[in-house]
């Protein structure tokens, strides 16, 4: 895909985050893999004002091309592309319900079968590390082992996918699941689906191409 098309799709994805209500101000960020690196949203610019030239092209060794500074979280974007060849896009949010659970350092267990959308029987919560640091990137990668989404304690959430649509769909799903889990917790701790059932659901999602 041409870089110009990728830039347009990143802007569309970022603006769609606003429409879905999963973005908080300019606190999230979006990127997509391109030849030799990735293109990421800049730091501190509202999505409705984003122009193609505001996006920042980063190489895998951390050099940037562009007039803006990249999102302060570029490190975990880079490290995800580096370690997960199947991944083509990353969506990071501070969406309200996912972040509420993250502030409680609370992973999302298999309280609902759709947790399997993230690739397994839970959506882990990485321990707190300062935003923008290599340490945060490392704990995020660990929480994403065998998964396509995780929470970041006292911070937000990450969803990854084969392309931008895929990652955005999952970011929205994670927020919906976080909200449902939060709601069930208001009544009582929900029972959790067992690992055998969740493995079956993961397999079904794979079989039906639902990701």
Provide, rounded to whole angstroms, the least separation between the CB of residue 170 and Zn ion. 17
- Single out the segment in contact with Zn ion by CB under 5 A; choices: 103-111, 153-161, 171-179, 180-188: 153-161
If we measure between CA atoms, which residue out of 204, 92, 113 comes closest to residue 157? 92
Catalytic option among 48, 49, 73, 142: 73
Considering the complex, state which of residue 99 and residue 121 has its C-beta at the smaller distance from Zn ion. 99
CA atoms within 13 A on the CB side of 160: 27
CB-based contacts of 58, cutoff 8 Å, min separation 6: 37, 38, 39, 40, 64, 65, 70, 74, 77, 78
Query: What separation in angstroms does the CA of 8 have from each of 13, 20, 81, 96?
Result: 9, 18, 20, 26
Considering the complex, state which of residue 156 and residue 161 has its C-beta at the smaller distance from Zn ion. 156
- Contact in structure between 91 and 174 (CB atoms under 8 Å): no
Provide, rounded to whole angstroms, the least separation between the CB of residue 132 and Zn ion. 9
- Single out the segment in contact with Zn ion by CB under 5 A; choices: 31-39, 80-88, 149-157, 188-196: 149-157
Site string for Zn ion, 104-143 (x = CB under 5 A): ----------------------------------------
Annotation says 73 is catalytic: yes
Considering the complex, state which of residue 70 and residue 156 has its C-beta at the smaller distance from Zn ion. 156
- Contact in structure between 150 and 143 (CB atoms under 8 Å): yes
- Single out the segment in contact with Zn ion by CB under 5 A; choices: 41-49, 53-61, 112-120, 156-164: 156-164
How many residues belong to the site for Zn ion (CB under 5 A)? 1
Q: For 55-163, where are the alpha helices, taking DSSP H only?
A: 74-83, 96-103, 134-143
Positions marked catalytic: 73
What are the residues binding Zn ion (CB under 5 A)?
Answer: 156
């Amino acid at each position: 895909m041409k870089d110009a098309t990728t830039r347009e799709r990143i802007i569309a994805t970022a603006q769609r985050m606003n429409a879905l209500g999963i973005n908080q101000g300019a606190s999230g960020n979006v990127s997509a893999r391109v030849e030799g690196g990735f293109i990421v949203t800049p730091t501190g610019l509202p999505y409705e004002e984003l122009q193609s030239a505001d996006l920042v092209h980063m190489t895998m060794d951390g050099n940037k091309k562009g007039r803006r500074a990249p999102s302060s979280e570029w490190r975990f974007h880079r490290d995800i592309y580096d370690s997960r060849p199947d991944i083509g896009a990353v969506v990071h949010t501070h969406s309200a319900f996912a972040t509420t659970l993250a502030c409680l350092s609370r992973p999302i267990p298999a309280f609902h079968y759709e947790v399997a959308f993230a690739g397994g029987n839970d959506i882990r919560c990485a321990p707190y590390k300062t935003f923008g640091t290599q340490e945060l990137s490392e704990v995020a990668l660990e929480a994403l082992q065998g998964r396509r989404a995780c929470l970041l304690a006292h911070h937000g959430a990450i969803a990854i996918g084969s392309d931008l649509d895929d990652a955005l769909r999952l970011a929205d799903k994670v927020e919906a699941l976080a909200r449902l889990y939060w709601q069930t917790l208001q009544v009582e701790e929900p029972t959790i689906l067992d690992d055998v059932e969740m493995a079956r659901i993961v397999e079904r999602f794979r079989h039906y191409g639902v990701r």
